[in-house]
Structure 1
């Protein structure tokens, strides 16, 4: 006599369930018990688990996917932008930005900060004269203003903000950053790289209750992510404040996604402990949902400010001095950093946006792997520009290609990049097909709030397949030979980032024993025209067997 099947808390049945399990990629139903998948199979197989108290959802043929996994987000920055700050678009003109600043400032107290983003980096590069800063002063009514660009590495600030930063006409540039000046040597208010940290510190000093603000920001980000079907994320640069907010939300039962944190080893754009102090504090409080299992190592900047490290010089169209960008580490220092990670059993997310910085990471990892053998998993963000000789090294060294942000198609950000980076380098960017064919893992990440005002995965997923901008008004393709199939792209948004983050046995597939993280969609992304994937809506999101989003309920979205 066969044992009585366990009764499920929840049965979801009558749909097309893509499991991402090579042994059984498709199913019709699934059963959930105690937050875990109890069974995944046919309608009849799963029906065995119906009990008198089982909640049953009929899918009416809808597609179910594993909960999406975003491999690169900034929860505090993104949530604060969505909850508190002036929303800007990368396509906004200067007149648009000034009009929005004027309207926003009109609702504030006279000494309140105007904080917002995202400012297009193309526009930021055009703010080359003092008169632009004075126009910002007028629009804001003399208030301090801090506007972040689409890379989140650079800022535009007003005169009052510069005063609060204690920056004046004779202030020297900070190490690793620059106060941009016009031809007459006058401050424009544009801040590059670590100069932006001074502005962030000045703004932070004005916040009456920073931890309460941070908690609301992180909670907002979680709700937005759930609304897009995202149930696990890797936080890409996690300081102590956001970690405390995450722990508070988890203790209150309000953290409805899984977070793998990446702890900065050096100061960057936010105040607070970094390196060993932060690592010790964070690891002591590791929990089921908040896992500080990575560090963040920044090797270079961004292409738009010519701080990305390239093997060949940037374009020199206006008489600029020849440069290949910046590197913040040499090989011995980086090897030492990688060895520390190996000794601590921590993975690392390396910010390396150019082919020279990517090569440096691979060289360092190669040395450590040769001496120490296999160890923690390493990721290279953003794996945009990779020399052909280095492509097979990702798989050989077990290094993940962190594909973020979603800019592998023509658009305003690519236009900005093309003004600086050699044409042949741009034309070969985002080599996803070559990565997969060589055996490497491609893990998608939004980099929200960088590059786009939302973490919407469906635009990025579609463009992985088409290499086109989902907006038909923007023509052309970007390196179309590197396009993926829909199934490969879905894997890059589910299974691969879960594995890259150390969550492969927890989520990313729909198999018995894994967390019941799954979503129901309004369309079958495997069957529709790929150019319609970007319009996908998530009808339901379940996290650990808990319904955390329904499309018929209002959700705060940026």
Structure 2
């Protein structure tokens, strides 16, 4: 073989390649794996310019991929004061009183619905500590926000609004906005008048974020939005992106044939380590926000409607994109939403197998995991979300659903046992991006999901490698350590399959390689 550019030696390599499950050394050339073997093979690969890296017994696995993340869109959402550690209303009020202002605004993110202790989300709960400042606080789910009276006035929002999608400016009995904005269209009313980071600030934050992601072992992310192609393209021209990104732009209710054709035209737009590939739909919202589409209403009588007011229009849009060869991913949390997406894919026939995926899948009845497997629909799930629930079902998610539905939370193991593809991710900035935490909580889910048990260590690793590759339609080019596959590699100081889950969550990351480039070196 030609001289390798990079050789990794002294490793315990878990290839996930059935042809050679284990090895000791890997050679890389032109961004792909050139050879897999043992240290005795190295002399045949090495040349004058070869970079040699001894892993000294570290465990090398295929590069880890976050199958659901928002690395660029999330830059705007994860702005201001981090409220993710706030646990009650007093803590929220204290955090807001001490928060710094951005052009006079109080901006925050990561606010847990459980902070309100079952009370309605209302600006009156925090208005007095804001000192009249406009405020925009993203709730952790990314589908709702709490805003102050001054923010509503700045946006000219003084009553209810009508939207094409299922969104709401929540109002009291007199028609006055409570400050609770539900779903994207409602939040956008205020977001459009908020301070926005400059291009230079966003660029610097993107580089910093991707580097921090790579330091946890991530080599790729399925970005479930369009991101900012100009920003990403500019950064990619100046430096090597440490995390490879695959963007899926949104298709919202009301999209006509021309809008769908524009989404088709976006496919294939690319640069080094990034591309547009796929389209993202929303079939519902979130359980905590009352917008998950459920077979039966939640405890507040909510959740009986789809995000697309006409679900048949969603089905028609998926059919048009499928006919154009475009892969789709659909946000579906509630059981009715999941059922409708499965019905839609079933209507596509055999050609729909492994071309379409459902994001989140938080609660589904018996029989549904087998249907995922039979239809070849990929389940894309985010184990860290389970931490927002409680084992005693005293959290907002569980209370809304009731014990029966909360008892079938995040059925990752049932899906795998049924033969379905289960790709794993974080949904950053909804949950932390650290892929080690994804692996750990996949094996030991939290809260309401704990009773069902988690994946094996191998299944969790596959969720961020081989199954993530299947979810992207890239199973023949990534997800395994084999000749001809991408040289995306992650080396840990312990075995991510055999080590206990709590140790995996803190595992030392010895090396991260993306596209044949070393993008992170651990100590």
Q: TM exceeds 0.5?
A: yes
Q: 2:125 aligns with which of 122, 132, 145?
A: 132
Are 2:362 and 1:377 equivalent residues in the alignment?
A: no
Query: How far off its partner does 1:518 sit?
Result: 0.8
Are 2:486 and 1:515 equivalent residues in the alignment?
A: yes
DSSP-derived class of the 2:248 partner = strand
Query: How far off its partner does 1:186 sit?
Result: 4.3
Aligned length: 515
Partners of 2:152 and 2:466 in 1: CA distance = 45
Q: 2:217 corresponds to which residue?
A: 229
Q: 1:488 corresponds to which residue?
A: 459
Query: How far off its partner does 1:182 sit?
Result: 4.8
Moved more, 502-511 or 302-311: 502-511
Query: How far off its partner does 1:20 sit?
Result: 1.0
Q: 2:421 corresponds to which residue?
A: 441
Contact 1:62 1:523 in 2 (8 A): yes
| Cα offsets for 1:227-272 (capped at 9, x unmatched) | 2111111111225xx122122122223322222111111279xxxx
Q: 1:104 aligns with which of 55, 80, 99?
A: 99
Q: 1:152 aligns with which of 136, 142, 154?
A: 142
DSSP-derived class of the 1:75 partner = coil
Query: How far off its partner does 1:355 sit?
Result: 0.8
Partners of 2:387 and 2:272 in 1: CA distance = 37
Partners of 1:290 and 1:362 in 2: CA distance = 29
DSSP-derived class of the 2:479 partner = coil
Report matched runs for 1:115-264 at 5 Å. 115-123=107-115, 126=119, 128-135=121-128, 138-139=129-130, 141-168=131-158, 170-172=159-161, 174=163, 176-182=166-172, 186-193=176-183, 194-203=185-194, 206-207=195-196, 209=198, 211-239=199-227, 242-264=228-250
Contact 2:338 2:364 in 1 (8 A): yes
Partners of 1:49 and 1:456 in 2: CA distance = 34
Query: How far off its partner does 1:491 sit?
Result: 0.5
Are 2:371 and 1:393 equivalent residues in the alignment?
A: yes
Partners of 1:550 and 1:67 in 2: CA distance = 14
Q: 1:309 aligns with which of 263, 275, 293?
A: 293
TM-score between the two structures when normalised by the length of structure 2: 0.91
Report matched runs for 1:32-51 at 5 Å. 32-51=28-47
Q: 1:19 aligns with which of 15, 19, 22?
A: 15
Contact 2:308 2:314 in 1 (8 A): no
Partners of 2:452 and 2:161 in 1: CA distance = 46
**Aligned in 2, Cα 1:381/1:229: closer, same or farther, shift over 3 Å?**
same
Q: 2:380 corresponds to which residue?
A: 402
Q: 1:417 corresponds to which residue?
A: 397
Query: How far off its partner does 1:363 sit?
Result: 0.7
Q: 1:345 corresponds to which residue?
A: 325
Moved more, 177-186 or 111-120: 177-186
**Aligned in 2, Cα 1:92/1:350: closer, same or farther, shift over 3 Å?**
same
Moved more, 251-260 or 158-167: 251-260
**Structure 1: gaps of 5 or more residues:** 269-273, 470-475, 553-558
Query: How far off its partner does 1:128 sit?
Result: 4.2
Query: How far off its partner does 1:71 sit?
Result: 0.7
Partners of 1:405 and 1:526 in 2: CA distance = 16
**Structure 2: gaps of 5 or more residues:** none
DSSP-derived class of the 1:191 partner = strand
TM-score between the two structures when normalised by the length of structure 1: 0.85
Contact 2:242 2:519 in 1 (8 A): yes
Query: How far off its partner does 1:305 sit?
Result: 1.9
Partners of 1:121 and 1:257 in 2: CA distance = 31
CA RMSD of aligned residues (A): 2.6
Moved more, 296-305 or 214-223: 214-223
Contact 2:33 2:487 in 1 (8 A): yes
